[in-house]
Amino acid sequence: MEIKTICVVGAGLMGHQIALQAAISGFETFCTDTSEVALNKAQDFASNWIGGRLEKGKITSIEADAIKQRLTFTTNLDTAACNADLVIEAIVEIVGIKRDLFARLDKICPPHAILATNSSYLVSSKIADATSRPDKVLNMHFFNPALVMKLVEVVQGPHVSDETVEKAMEVCRALGKVPTRVNKEIYGFVANRVFAAIMTESLYMLDQGVASVEDIDNAIKFGLGHPMGPFALLDLVGIDLEYDVRMGRYQDTGMAEDKPSPALVERYAAGNFGRKSGKGFFDYKK
């Protein structure tokens, strides 16, 4: 089975960039969301990106027109998914909402279609049994910003067939990405387990007054060689997403150490979600 058509569900920060990357890479692509506002923003982003590349001579006018023709934005999930060979879900990190969506996709999509979640923490085994095709449900975890970051973690839960994993790896390569095969489901997969350890320690030091946001970020950047400090990265990814992930983990384990830190809770409660809101650990309104 050759994958020709990709549907991305969720037109947020990750979803619209995954969709644009798919269209750039030659796939017939549909990006769908229940929010017309989100879709309009996604369409504007794609138009500006394509226009910018054209202006700089990175692509020709023929290539720009071809990308636009391959990329469709719609609020109609049936239209977006009915002919999809691969669906990539990029919605909120709430398992109940994902299960409802996958159950619906199972009815809409062709029987051969692979259903992937871009979730960075929720494993596909929590979703797969909402469908009649658990062997075709897996994690394809892209990294933010999806147009730039090369890594995609392809996670094989116990229910996922080898054929599905190989097909997902093949698509990642066609998208110009570097797929990493994760052979077992584990909370946070590979990269985020390492990031979570750094972030937990950084938040602990901030809560304890050991060092400031700026100084902790500088230590990680200039001492460990990271391109971005943990707090700047959290602002980019979204403090609301990190809060939801940590609350979900705490609800699963009941362990006090898995609770979101006071610094995270304080910003979440104030609506300071990072770059998207103009303020997080850093102030972007200036």
3-state helix/strand/coil string of 23-77: HHCCCEEEEECCCHHHHHHHHHHHHHHHHHHHHCCCCCHHHHHHHHHHEEEECCH
DSSP H or E run through 212:
none
pTM of the model: 0.84
Q: Averaged over 28-40, what is the pLDDT?
A: 97
Mean pLDDT of the chain, nearest integer: 95
- Based on the residue annotation, tell me whether 192 is a catalytic residue of this protein: yes
Statement to judge: residues 98 and 233 lie in one domain: no
- Based on the residue annotation, tell me whether 161 is a catalytic residue of this protein: no
Q: What span, in angstroms and rounded, lies between the C-alpha atoms of 36 and 9?
A: 13
Statement to judge: residues 148 and 129 lie in one domain: yes
**Which one of the listed residues 118, 119, 120, 139 is annotated catalytic?**
120
The per-residue pLDDT for range 72-114, each reduced to its tens digit, is 999 999 999 999 999 999 999 889 999 999 999 999 999 999 9
* Residue that terminates a domain, selected from 182, 202, 218: 182
* Residue that terminates a domain, selected from 129, 161, 182: 182
Q: Averaged over 159-182, what is the pLDDT?
A: 98
Statement to judge: residues 60 and 81 lie in one domain: yes
In the structure, what pLDDT confidence band is assigned to residue 286 with cuts at 50, 70 and 90?
confident
Statement to judge: residues 136 and 68 lie in one domain: yes
Q: What's the CATH number where 107 sits?
A: 3.40.50.720
Q: What span, in angstroms and rounded, lies between the C-alpha atoms of 160 and 179?
A: 16
**Which one of the listed residues 89, 153, 185, 242 is annotated catalytic?**
153
Q: Is residue 154 included in any domain, yes or no?
A: yes
Say yes or no to pLDDT of 161 above 90: yes
Helix (H, G, I), strand (E, B) or coil at 151: strand
The answer to whether 220 touches 230, Cβ cutoff 8 Å, is: yes
pLDDT of residue 121: 84
pLDDT of residue 237: 86
- Based on the residue annotation, tell me whether 76 is a catalytic residue of this protein: no
Say yes or no to pLDDT of 35 above 80: yes
pLDDT of residue 187: 86
Question: What are the C-alpha distances in Å from 36 to residues 31, 227, 273?
Answer: 12, 34, 22
Tokens of 242: 């990190």
**Which one of the listed residues 124, 141, 185, 272 is annotated catalytic?**
141
pLDDT of residue 285: 86
Say yes or no to pLDDT of 263 above 80: yes
Q: Which residues contact 11 (CB under 8 A, 6 or more apart)?
A: 19, 31, 32, 33, 35, 38, 39, 41, 42, 73
Distance of CA 248 to the CA centre of its chain: 17
Q: Is residue 138 included in any domain, yes or no?
A: yes
- Based on the residue annotation, tell me whether 141 is a catalytic residue of this protein: yes
Give the range of the structural domain holding residue 205, as residue numbers without chain letter: 193-277
User: Which residue pairs from 213-220 have beta carbons closer than 8 angstroms and sit at least 24 positions apart in sequence?
Assistant: 213/281, 213/282
* Residue that terminates a domain, selected from 182, 212, 234: 182
Say yes or no to pLDDT of 1 above 80: no
Sign of torsion over alpha carbons 231, 98, 69, 176: positive
Lowest-pLDDT range, 2-6, 79-83, 166-170, 185-189? Answer: 185-189
The answer to whether 243 touches 265, Cβ cutoff 8 Å, is: yes
In the structure, what pLDDT confidence band is assigned to residue 188 with cuts at 50, 70 and 90?
confident
**Number of compact structural domains in the chain:** 2
Burial string for 58-91 (b: 16+ CB within 10 Å, else e) reads ebeeeebeebeebbbbeeebeebbeebbbbbbbb
- The CA R_g of the chain, rounded to the nearest whole Å, is 19
**Which one of the listed residues 192, 201, 226, 277 is annotated catalytic?**
192
Statement to judge: residues 150 and 269 lie in one domain: no
Tokens of 250: 């705490």
